[in-house]
Structures are given as structure tokens and as C-alpha cells.
Structure 1
Amino acid sequence: MKQLLLHVRPDQTVLACLDDDILSDLFVERAGEEDIVGRVYKGVIKNVVPSLNGMFLDIGIGRNAFLRTRDTLPGAAHTEGSTLLVQVEKDSTETKGPLVTEKISFAGRYAVALYGSSYIGISKKITDEKKRNFLRSQAKAICGGAMGLIVRTAAETAEEEDFKKDLTSLTRIMEVVMKRGAIEKGPALLYRDGDLAVKSLRDYLTGGVERILVDDRNVWQRLITMAEEEKDISKDRILFYDERESLFKSFKVDGQIEALFDRTVPLPTGGSLVIDYTEALTVIDVNSGSFRGKGIPHDQLAFLINKDAAREIARQIRLRGIGGIIMIDFIDMEKKEEKEKLLRILRQEVRDDHVKTVVCGMTSLGLVEMTRKRTTKRLWQYYYNTCPLCKGTGRILSARAAADRILEDLENRRRKGPFQRDLEIRCSTDVKKVLESAPFWDVLQKTVLRDIRITGEPHFSRETYTILSL
């Protein structure tokens, strides 16, 4: 059974998608931290950088956005000071501003409208040729060449009236944004997509989803009103949750979310995934773990674990919001046909991802390369801050190494001349223990040749210390 759980608080909305009670997708929206992907701005070009094959624009958010040359439209002026209509394609990171494109699109329930294009495309998942031709003719009749259109899979079962209504709505949105773009002075926000509650109805309450449970009465009533306007959405599928136990706790979602922050992910076969993030890419290692499979040949055993791993990897990258380059080290397999079969399984598993995901293939070293479009922050960035002590490395200086640094500092000071006064060393309590132990204490006394007092400061990190003359 597929269902959606919409957990609403004044400061945050979380949408969880469950498939037989297993978390299959997760979306987070926070007040003051709204996702700006999809927003349309009128930006002002601040500087063109040929060496980067792009330009920086001021879109009015405090950080300049970057527009790649390949994402521009022909015919527009791309000189410093000129204005452009752009859409945010990728959100800001800690070190970079947002990535924008001139190829603007607006998503409806049954189609996606394309600015500056006359292309009409039909979802590949609609295989009935008669239906494809009908939808294409309807799209051409309504758009009239004023915009391009990609017809979504949901259009296959839509009533003709509802399909036309959706396309007409997209046409109006396009017209309003273009008119505002002609009037407003840049930088300015021209369009923002609906909130997560709206998206839950438009994008995720598909035919395969039986119901959506909402734990906020106001949001529930708003969705009911929307469903009444959209004839193909039964309001009976939108339920208000008002039990004593919280929505996520009742469906055991909280524990599944917490598990998404673990580095190691257990597999049903007894193997595991180990997921590590770097600045450039994400690395996933597949381990056989405790599963040995008595009597099963090694190549069959490896394929069995890898098959489970491929399915779980597709789920994990969706739930964790992993984007960019992904490298996977599956368990080694000798047979070429098994490697090809594994790639087919992985491609099948990522096919329904709402974010564009491409399995590139296997390298000569047996590593699988894939990419997933990076649009928002990784999930952990909504819940955790980078550790100020280890700065995200997962390692901190040992007490022994910190004590060595203090000794080196004292030795360098002594070389400039003997100490004239007694000293006090203030450091963390565990570094104090090391300095007072043999042979450190003997080295300290021989280096300083004065009385030494060591004070342990509980609030000091190991890297922090001061040396005072008494």
C-alpha cells in the first residue's frame, strides 16, 4: 500500500512517502529556509566570465547566481548591466550561489511548460500510440507555438477537460510571468512554486498512491478545496489525522528518518552499504558482511548481495537527497553478463526518481559511475551542523598530539632565550593529564627550567591552549 504522510508544524512541513510502511521518499520544507529551486527572477548581469563559460547575476537574494553559457537562450543580450529572466536550477551551497538557467519551465499536474521553445514531447511511459498522438494534438492546439510542452505520465488517464484546464493554467502562468518580467526592474522575484502541501497533491498523489494523511486541519481543508477543483482527485483519499499518537510515530517514520543519518546501511541479505560524502562526489561501498551463503558459489553470492544493494542504493540516494557524482564499489563479479544485469537493475530502480538520475556504466576498475541532478541540500544539512571541532572530517586531534604541539611551542620560545619567569599552561583537561604524565613532565621541566603550573580548562578544545608568564 502506497500512502503519503504530511506532517505540518508552524515552522516546518515534512512529506513522507510510504510503500508498504517502508519510507520511499522524503521532502522537508522549513520556514525561512524555503527551497528556491524553480523560482523565476529578473536578474541583472554583474560580470561575464569567459574562462568559466558563464556569467554572474544579481537576482536579489544577497548572493550572485551563476548562469552557464550552455543554459542561455539565443538572441538575448548577455552583457554586463543587461537583464535576463532566469529560473533557479540548483540551490545555493555553503560556498556557491545558486545555479540558474534561461530555459524556464513550469510544472502542472499533467504537463510541464517550456519558455522559449516550441517543442512538444510526450512521456515515454505513455506507450499507447493513439493516446500519444491525441495528447500531442491537444497540446499543439492550446499552446499554439507560444511555448513548448512536455506531457507527463499522469495525462494518460486524465479526462480531456482536466488536461485542457491544466494546459490553460500553465499558459496563464507563463503569460503573467512574462508580463511581470517586462514591467519589473531587476533584480526581482517574478514567480515561486506552490508549497510542499500543494506539491504533495500535484506531483505525488498519483494513481498508485491510495491516500494522503494530514495532521493539520487548516492544510487538510486547503487540500480538500484543491481536490474539489481538480475533478480527477478524490477528496476521499485526503484524510485528516487526529490521533493521540503523532503521525510519524504512529507509522514508525521517525526511526526510519534517524537511520538515514547513519554511515552504514544494513542489507536484507546480511551485507551492508557504507556511504561517505566528499566535496566532489559521494562514495558508496558494498560489503558482504556476515552473509556467507553456505553452498552458494562466490559469483552467485556476490550477485545476490549486489542486487539487494542496487535496490537499496536507489532508495538511499533519494531519501538522503544525494546529488552530483556518485561512485559505487560493488562486490567484484567475474562474469560480464552479471555486471550488465546489475547495471540494468540499478537503472530500473532509479527510473522513477523524481530527480534526473543517470547510471553511466562501470569503469575498468569495476566501479559504477552515476549522476543525480543536485537541486537541494542533502538531508543531513536540514538536521545537522558541521562539527566545529572536527570541521566535518570526523576526526579530532589526539590529546598526545596536542601535548606535542605545546612542547614544540615551548621549545621554539626557549630557543629565543631562557625563560625569565615561571609559567602557567592552560589547556583541556585530557591534555593536562598527558603533560603531567611521564615522560612529558620531565621534558617540560628540562625545556622550561622554571616552575610550571598546568591548569585544566573543561571548556577548552584540545587545539586550544595558552602559555602565561607568572
Structure 2
Amino acid sequence: MKELLLHCRPQQTVLALLEDGRLEDLSVERAGEENIVGRVYKGIIRNVVPSLNGLFVDIGIGRNAFLRTKDIISGKEPHTEGAAVLVQVEKDSTESKGPLVTEKVSFAGTYAVALMGTGYIGISKKIRDEKKRDFLRRHAKAICPAGMGLVVRTAAEAAGEEDFKKDLASLARLMEVVEKRYALEKGPALLYRDGDLAVKSLRDYTGRGIDRLLVDDRDTFLRLSRMAEEESLCDPEKVVFYDEREPLFAHFHVEEQMHQLFDRVVSLPSGGSLYIDYTEALTVIDVNSGSFRGKGMPHDQLAFLINKAAAYEIARQIRLRGIGGMIMVDFIDMAKKEEKEELIRILQAAVRNDRAKTVVCGMTSLGLVEMTRKRTTQRLWQYYFDPCPLCHGTGHILSAAAAADRILEDLENRRARGPFRGDLEITANPDVAAALGKEPFKERLEKTVGKEAAVKENPAFTRETYTILSV
């Protein structure tokens, strides 16, 4: 059974997809921190940088976006600084980079995706009935105005003729509105923003075999019920208001499954485990056999068994955690070529239903599997955690011994410039102060200063913070 749970609060909305009670997809939207991916802007070109194969565009968010040369629509006049440009956000900004934008603007409807600046008409490859493909293509061409293309989605195969036409007409009107606003607005300006997470829950999920959508906020429930009926997005009876005493996520055990997504180690049903580590542009996943030991099972067979279980879980974890960019997976070594090829096929099948474009590139000579996943949102942990102010996200802090050694080196450098004129008072973190009071640091301190120095503790100091005063 597939269920969508929409948990609404004034500061945050969370959408969870459950299959037979197991969390399979997750989206988070914070008030005031909405995802800007998909928004359309009239931008102003600030810098053209041929060496970077792109240009920087001011879209009015306080941080310039980057437009790659390959994302510029061909056949247009060369871009110059100060010129206006119509762009859509493709990737959100990170800590060190601004957002990535494209001139290839598109709008997603229930049954099709509209494309600006092209006359291309495409039909989903998953629609195999040739009569249906011809029917959809004819209606798409009849409705599309000049300069608008379409990619018909898989959901259109089961759509009624009137519903399909209505959706295409709505997309055509939306594109016309954006074009008019682009002509009238002075850039930089926001021209279009996608619906909130509640709207996306109907538009993007209900066509994927969802049995019901449970909403725990009455106003949101009424709004979605009206949309489902007026826009024929789904059967209105599938939208259900949840008003039980126990909180929605607690009742369906979503909270405890979410908490597991912040762990570095993920246990596998086979007894193996995954270790997930992040960098700015790369995520590394290591598959470990852990405590699993097959009774009398050969190593190759054991490795393949664990790797298969890992492949399914990896696809689920990168989807739930919002992992994007480059992904490297270190599976357990396997000797047989056919098992390696089978593992790649399993992983490709496991990521096929991911809403974000995910590509399994293959296995390197070192046995590492390369993957890429389009980064459309922040990683899940970034919605709930800030980098540690002590370690700045590294996971490590200076040891007390290393911090004490730094203080002594500082004193030795000062001593080399001349003798200390008065008594010294050193204030440091309690752990560092304790280290300075023990050998060999105590003897070295007295030798450097030439006398006994007063060492005081300050719990507010980090291990890297200290003061040296002459009293």
C-alpha cells in the first residue's frame, strides 16, 4: 500500500511517501527557506567569463547565479554584460557557490512538461502503444503555440482526452504570462515560482499509484481537495484529513525512520552495513560485510549477496537524504565479471524511479561504482543541523596535548625576542590547562618562562583559544 503523509506546521511542511509502512521518499519545505529550484527570473548579466565557459547573472537574490555556455539557447545573439536574460534555476546554491541557471526554461504539468524556445514534441518512452503516442502527439501539436515545445509524461497514457487538453492549455497560458512579465518587468525580477510542497504532493505524486494522501492540517486539506476536484489531479476521495489524537508522523513511525537518516552507518538486512561520508561535491559510500558470516558460503557468493542488498538500500538512502552531485560506491570486491555486471543492472533498476535524474556510470578499474544524481535540493541534514562551531563540520577538534604544545611554541617564539619582564598569566580551556599542569608540559613551561607561570581555566574557551597576559 502506498500512502502520502503531509505534515503541516507554521514553520515547516514535510511530505513522506510510505510503501507498506516503509519510508521511500521525503521532501522538506521550511517557511522563508523555500527551494528556489524551478523558479524563473529575469536576470541581468554581470560578468561574461569565457575561461569558465559561462557567465554570472544577477537574479536579485543577493548572490549571482552561474549560466553555463552549454545551457544557453543556440541561435541567439551573443550575451553581453548588462543585457537581460530569461533563466530558470536548475540547482540551488551551496555554501561556496551560487545557484546554477539555464535558458532552457520548462514548466511541469500533470501530463506534460512545457519547453520554452523550442518546437520539440516528445513522448515518454514508457508509453509503448503507438496509437496512443500518435494521439498524444497530434493533440500536443494542435495546442502548442509558436516557440513552445512539449514532453508528454507517462501519466498522460491513462488520462482522459479532456483532462489532457486542459493540462496543455494551462501550460500554454502559463508560458504566455511569463513571456509578458519578462517584457514588462525591470530585471532582476522573479517571474514565476512553483507551487508549494502541498501542491507538488498532488501534481507529482498522486499519479504514481498512491492509495491515499493524508493531511494533518484542515486548511491545507480543504485546499488540496478543491484542487483535486477542479483540476482532476486525482480522485478527491483519496485526499483524507487526519484528525486522530496521535500525531501523524508518530502514528506511522515516520519520525524514527527519519532519525536514522542522519546516522553515518546504515545497517543492512543481510547483516552488512553502509558507511556514508560527505564532502562539498562528492559523497562516498562504503559497503561493509560487518558481522555477517554465511555458514559455509564461499566469499564470492557472500560478497554478491551483501552487494545486492546494498544496491537497493543505496538507491533509497540517496533519495531520502537528498544526496546530489557525484557519488562513489565501494562495494565488496567480487571476482566474477558477470556478477559485477549484474550488480550494475540491479543498481540502475533501483534508481529508475527516482524523481531526480540519477545515472549509474559504471565500475572503475579499482572496483568503485561511479554515480551522479542531479542536485535539486539541500541534503536532508542541512534542514535540521548547523555545522559544529567547534570543529566547523570536520568532526575533529584539537587534542588537549596539541593545544598545550601550541601555547608553549607561542611562548618560545616570544622568549626568543627577549626575556619576559613580569609574571605571566595563561588562560585556556580546562582540558588544555590541565595538560599544561602535567609533565612534560609543566617542565617545559617553567624552562621557557624562567619562572612559575599562573595557569587559569576558562570553560568558555575552545581548545584553540587562549590568552597570555603579563601581570
For the superposition of Structure 1 and Structure 2, which TM-score range results when normalised by the shorter chain? over 0.9
Give 2:175's aligned amino acid: M
Task: After TM superposition, list the pairs within 5 Å mapping 1:149-168 onto structure 2.
Answer: 149-168=150-169
* 2:109 paired residue number: 108
CA contact (8 A) 1:90 1:376 kept: yes
Task: After TM superposition, list the pairs within 5 Å mapping 1:420-431 onto structure 2.
Answer: 420-431=421-432
Say which SS state the counterpart of residue 260 (structure 1) adopts: helix
* 1:285 paired residue number: 286
Separation of aligned partners in 2, 1:98 and 1:304:
41
Give 1:54's aligned amino acid: G
How far 1:131 sits from its partner (Å)? 1.3
* 1:447 paired residue number: 448
How far 1:467 sits from its partner (Å)? 0.5
1:218 aligns with 2:200: no
For the aligned residue pairs, the C-alpha RMSD in angstroms reads: 1.0
* 1:330 paired residue number: 331
Say which SS state the counterpart of residue 262 (structure 2) adopts: coil
CA contact (8 A) 1:118 1:146 kept: yes
Separation of aligned partners in 2, 1:189 and 1:76:
23
CA contact (8 A) 2:42 2:189 kept: yes
Please list every run of 5 or more consecutive structure 1 residues that lacks an aligned counterpart in the other structure.
none
How far 1:280 sits from its partner (Å)? 2.8
CA contact (8 A) 1:120 1:149 kept: yes
* 2:31 paired residue number: 31
CA contact (8 A) 1:419 1:450 kept: no
Separation of aligned partners in 2, 1:98 and 1:9:
28
How far 1:122 sits from its partner (Å)? 1.1
* 2:41 paired residue number: 41
CA contact (8 A) 1:423 1:450 kept: no
Please list every run of 5 or more consecutive structure 2 residues that lacks an aligned counterpart in the other structure.
none
* 1:235 paired residue number: 236
Separation of aligned partners in 2, 1:66 and 1:433:
51
Q: Following superposition, which runs of at least 4 residues in structure 1 exceed 2 angstroms of deviation?
A: none
Separation of aligned partners in 2, 1:242 and 1:337:
53
1:416 aligns with 2:417: yes
Give 2:449's aligned amino acid: V
How far 1:53 sits from its partner (Å)? 0.5
Give 2:333's aligned amino acid: D
How far 1:232 sits from its partner (Å)? 5.4
How far 1:439 sits from its partner (Å)? 2.0
Task: After TM superposition, list the pairs within 5 Å mapping 1:115-130 onto structure 2.
Answer: 115-130=116-131
* 1:16 paired residue number: 16
- Per-residue Cα deviation, 1:307-344 (whole angstroms, up to 9, x for no partner): 00000000000011111110000000111111000000
Give 2:23's aligned amino acid: L
- Per-residue Cα deviation, 1:10-35 (whole angstroms, up to 9, x for no partner): 11110011111111111011111010
Aligned positions, number = 470
Separation of aligned partners in 2, 1:154 and 1:464:
60
Separation of aligned partners in 1, 2:264 and 2:296:
31
Matched residues, percent identical? 72
How far 1:145 sits from its partner (Å)? 4.6
1:349 aligns with 2:377: no
- Residue 417 and residue 202 in structure 1: after superposition, are their counterparts in 2 closer, same or farther (change >3 A)? same
Separation of aligned partners in 1, 2:444 and 2:91:
56
Task: After TM superposition, list the pairs within 5 Å mapping 1:2-401 onto structure 2.
Answer: 2-74=2-74, 75-231=76-232, 233-401=234-402
Give 1:24's aligned amino acid: E
How far 1:138 sits from its partner (Å)? 1.3
Separation of aligned partners in 2, 1:202 and 1:425:
64
- Residue 85 and residue 232 in structure 1: after superposition, are their counterparts in 2 closer, same or farther (change >3 A)? closer
Separation of aligned partners in 2, 1:82 and 1:299:
61
How far 1:92 sits from its partner (Å)? 1.0
Say which SS state the counterpart of residue 407 (structure 1) adopts: helix
How far 1:123 sits from its partner (Å)? 1.1
